[in-house]
Every structure is written in structure tokens, then in C-alpha cells.
Amino acid sequence: MRKLLKCLLIGLLLVATIANLGTDLKQGRGALLIVLAGLALAPRVWRWLSGRSSTTKRKLFWGLLGLTVVIELTVLLTMPTSVFHDPFRVRYQASLLASGHFDWGTSDYFYRYPNNAVNAVLLAGPLWVGRLVGFNDATTLGALGFVMTNALILACAALARRLAKDRAAAVLVVAWFLISPVTYTNFLQVPYSDLPSILAVAVILLAWPAHQERPQWSQLIVLGGAVLVGQLIKPNLIVLAPAVLLTWCLVKFRRQLLAPVTTVLVALALTLPVKQALLTAGHYQANARYRLPATSWIYMSYLPATGGQYNSRVVQQEEALPNLATRQRFVQSALVNQVKELGVGGLFQQWATKLVNLIDERHVPIEYRAGPQRAPAWYLAHAKLAGVLQTFLLQVGWLTLFALTLRQVIYLRFTSATTVRPPGGLGGRLRGLRGPLVGGGGSVWFGSAPVLIRARQPADGAPIQWRRGTVASLLVAVSRHRRGAGPVNQPPQA
């Protein structure tokens, strides 16, 4: 089973790497050359950085974070962006709610997509508070994006430092966010459901009380709160349920997981009543006339014409039907016929297409953004070059992330003879599938996309001292959102 999982992980990472090379071979070759050079230099960079003093690492961390903040503020103040589609509708409805206008009937959008009705109610709170202190909605939304973006950076940096037991890992995380265009585009300027849901996952990993038989109540409260808020904003975080249950099944000593697993499941269960309470507070009432069946999304995922993504033609066909029951029968019949039409080969091809769409991150900065409302003259004069540079940097960032992980997994695949099993079932079965890599100074590294977990082997032959973070690897692997993987890369010592 471990060998099968290793091969599966290698295959997924290869697909991710190829998908992010793109169709522009000239630009893709340039990005690939930079990434290959980075792979060759990675061990030396890590040794140099980890060998710096704590004061130097601290200065590097805050210096890079400060530079990131300066760029963020410059973008917010000089290049406000226009948004469209879902974020625009949520913002507009939240603005109405913050003003005391509880009219949901201006369009049928929220009747068809009730999940975003919850987001509109949640967003109305900050907008209302902003108006109390004299901010307009644009300023409040900019401040919200700024706070959540930097909270995500700090959360990922804290997680990396905890897992690696070295501030150098946090420095690398901040450096990744510094060069990534996503930081200054979708995350900063479009604080839609993606950013808060990724932040919720990061907080969940931080709050998860690994290796604690008696976790603190404060940890459990933060854990439960992050799960609840994340599930309200992005319902597909329900994948946390199978993640924690699988964790429970794989470990031998389950007592220490009883509290956190129970907390996660209870928080997920509380989502339904809390969601209904929020919709009631916002005076929202469902309208079955426009409701789409859940199977509609499954049907759209098997349509090659749109790559398995949202298909407006299908939605229009369903809206023409008189009621929900008729739509359900239509979708059920259409789904069966579509699967038969695709056949076995077509199914695998469709799944591969959806996988590529999932892990191709090059398009993220332009999603929901129609362009700047205004911009400095120097930017407008070089807007085309800036767009090319943005795409290139995004390619380099994601290719580096995937390539480092792929390098680690492949190397460990051929060094499995040196495997040192960590204590407990989860570490042995999950992190063991990535295998250990013995590095300088008696360190044993366990690769896990996108983090590496290190154990220290004392020189005198004493038992290995295992670091915290046993469950983090599984939670990241199972609950990774489409734009959610945190950029933590730590190359092993040569």
C-alpha cells in the first residue's frame, strides 16, 4: 500500500508540474530552468539560512514581511480593482444588508446559490462596522483583504516554524508569498470565499493539538471555531470529516485524538443550525422555484465542453423546468446518459482534465478581476510587461513548490532501505509513505507536500526525538482547497 501511495503521489506531482508549465513553451522553458537551478541550490540555501543566528533570521523574516506589506498597501491605494460575477453579487447584497435593506429578490442568484447568501450575511457585519467608524465599503473591503492576507502569511509561517523547529522555514514561507502575484491580486483585492477558507485550514492545522493527551480548552475552541467558520464560508471543507476519521482509524493510540476529532465533528454538525440562524437574521428565505439539485454539479463535472466546470447552458435548461422534482429527474437521466456516452476511456480523460484544472494555478490572479479602476502612469505604460512578469513569477512559484516536493518523494522512493518508522500508526503509515531522508547533522526528514517534518537523531544513539505535527500531513493532503496549499518548502540538508 505504501508503494502504491508513493507512486500515486509522484504521478500527481508530475501532472501538477506539467500543468503549470502551460502552453507557452518559451516562457515555460524559462520558468523550468529557474526551478531546476533552484533545486540544485536548495540544499545549500537551506544550510546557509538555517546556519544564521536567531537574530539574523528574525530580521530577515520581518524585513521580508515588511516589504510584502509595503507592496500590498501600494497596490490597495494606487490600483483599486473592479470585480465581477460571484464576488460582486456578494458585495452588493452585503452592502444592502449593512444598510438595513433585506431585499433578496432583485435577482434569482441567491435563490440558485444559497451558500453565497451566507457569505453575504457574514460580509455585512464588517461593512456595518466600517460604516460606524466612517469607512466606505471599498476601504472596509480593502482592509479586510489586507488583514486576512497577512494573517494567512503569519499562520503559514508559524506552521512551518513549528514543524521544522527552525525560523528559517518561516523566512522561506514569507519569501514565497513575497514573490507570488496571488498575494497582491486575488488574496488582497478579492476577499471572496477562497482566502478565508484557506486561512481557516491554516488555523486548523495550527490549533490541532498533536501529541497532547490533554489539549487545552483554548486550542479546542480555536479549532472548533475555525472549522465552523470555514465550513460556513466554503461548504466543501466537509472533507475534514473523512480526514479526521481516517486519522482516527490509522493511529494506534487514539485517546489523544479523541478531543480534537470530536471537536471537528461537532463543529461540522453545528454548521447547519448556525447557517440557518444567519440566514434568518438576514431575512433570507429559500425559493424552490430557482433551486438546483445537488446532482446538477456532478452532471456538469462530466461535460467535456466546459472541462467539467460550471456550465451555464445546463443551468438554463434546468431553470426552464417547472420545479425541483422535475429538475432532479432531468439531471439523473442526463447524468446516466453522459457517463455511458463517455465510456471508460472518456471517464479517465475527463478526470484527468478536472485534475489539471484543479492544480493549474496560473489563472488564479485574474479570476473575478476586471482590471484596475485606476493605476499610476508608470504601470499603465508597462502593463503588458507586468502581466507577463506576473504569469512568469506565478509559474516559478508553483513549479518550485511542486518540484521540491517531487524531488523529495522520488529521492525517498529510492532510499526506502533507510526507512526509520516514526512512533504511532499515523506517522508510520502516512509520513512513512514519503519516507525519511537522512541529512547532515543526524537529521531525518519526512517529506509532505507542502511541508517537510524533521526528527533529530542524537549523536549518542539515544531514541529519536520526534517533532510535533503528526496530523498536519494528513489534513493538508485530504482537505487541500483548490488554492489552499500553503507554500512551505524546506529542502533537506545534503
Q: What is the pLDDT of residue 365?
A: 56
Measured between alpha carbons, how far is 175 from 455 in angstroms, rounded to an integer? 24
**Sorting pLDDT into bands at 50, 70 and 90, what band is 361?**
low
Q: What is the pLDDT of residue 308?
A: 82
Q: What angle do CA 113, 106, 108 make, to 5 degrees?
A: 30
Report the pLDDT averaged over residues 56-73.
95
Average pLDDT over all residues of the chain: 78
- Cβ atoms of 97 and 120 within 8 Å: the answer is yes
Least confident piece of the model among 21-25, 324-328, 431-435: 431-435
Q: Residue 417: is its pLDDT beyond 50?
A: no
The amino acid sitting at 66 is: G
Least confident piece of the model among 40-49, 159-168, 258-267: 40-49
Q: Residue 344: is its pLDDT beyond 80?
A: yes
Q: What is the pLDDT of residue 423?
A: 40
Q: What is the pLDDT of residue 355?
A: 78
Most confident of 105-109, 130-134, 354-358: 130-134
Report the SS3 class of residue 352.
Answer: helix
Q: Higher model confidence: residue 60 or residue 252?
A: 60
Q: What is the pLDDT of residue 97?
A: 94
Q: What is the pLDDT of residue 490?
A: 40
Report the pLDDT averaged over residues 298-310.
87
Q: Higher model confidence: residue 20 or residue 401?
A: 401
Strand segments, DSSP code E, in 32-170 are 81-83
**Sorting pLDDT into bands at 50, 70 and 90, what band is 426?**
very low
Q: What is the pLDDT of residue 448?
A: 33
Residues 154, 160, 161, 167, CA torsion sign? negative
Most confident of 12-16, 221-225, 388-392, 486-490: 221-225
Residues 193, 194, 199, 201, CA torsion sign? positive
Beta bridge partners of residue 446, listed in sequence order: 436, 453
Measured between alpha carbons, how far is 342 from 216 in angstroms, rounded to an integer? 52
Q: To the nearest 5 percent, what fractions of the chain are helix, strand and coil?
A: 70, 5, 25
Measured between alpha carbons, how far is 390 from 410 in angstroms, rounded to an integer? 30
Q: How many CB atoms lie within 10 A of CB 489?
A: 25
- Per DSSP, helices labelled H in 133-257 are 137-164, 167-179, 186-189, 194-207, 217-233, 240-250
Q: Residue 416: is its pLDDT beyond 60?
A: no
Q: Residue 482: is its pLDDT beyond 90?
A: no
200-210 tens-digit pLDDT: 999 999 998 76
**Sorting pLDDT into bands at 50, 70 and 90, what band is 226?**
very high
Q: Residue 58: is its pLDDT beyond 90?
A: yes
Shortest CA distance to 227 belongs to which of 239, 212, 210? 239
181-202 tens-digit pLDDT: 889 888 888 878 889 999 999 9
**Sorting pLDDT into bands at 50, 70 and 90, what band is 29?**
low
Q: Higher model confidence: residue 458 or residue 252?
A: 252
Q: What is the pLDDT of residue 27?
A: 56
Q: What is the pLDDT of residue 457?
A: 39
**Sorting pLDDT into bands at 50, 70 and 90, what band is 475?**
very low
Most confident of 79-83, 126-130, 466-470: 126-130
Report the SS3 class of residue 324.
Answer: helix
Q: Residue 44: is its pLDDT beyond 80?
A: yes
- Cβ atoms of 14 and 379 within 8 Å: the answer is no
Q: What is the pLDDT of residue 274?
A: 95
Reduced 3-state DSSP string for 136-165: CHHHHHHHHHHHHHHHHHHHHHHHHHHHHC
Report the pLDDT averaged over residues 4-10.
72
Q: Higher model confidence: residue 148 or residue 416?
A: 148
Q: What is the pLDDT of residue 46?
A: 84
> β-pairing, 436-439 with 451-456?
unpaired
Measured between alpha carbons, how far is 58 from 56 in angstroms, rounded to an integer? 5
Least confident piece of the model among 115-119, 190-194, 419-423, 467-471: 467-471
Report the pLDDT averaged over residues 399-420.
67
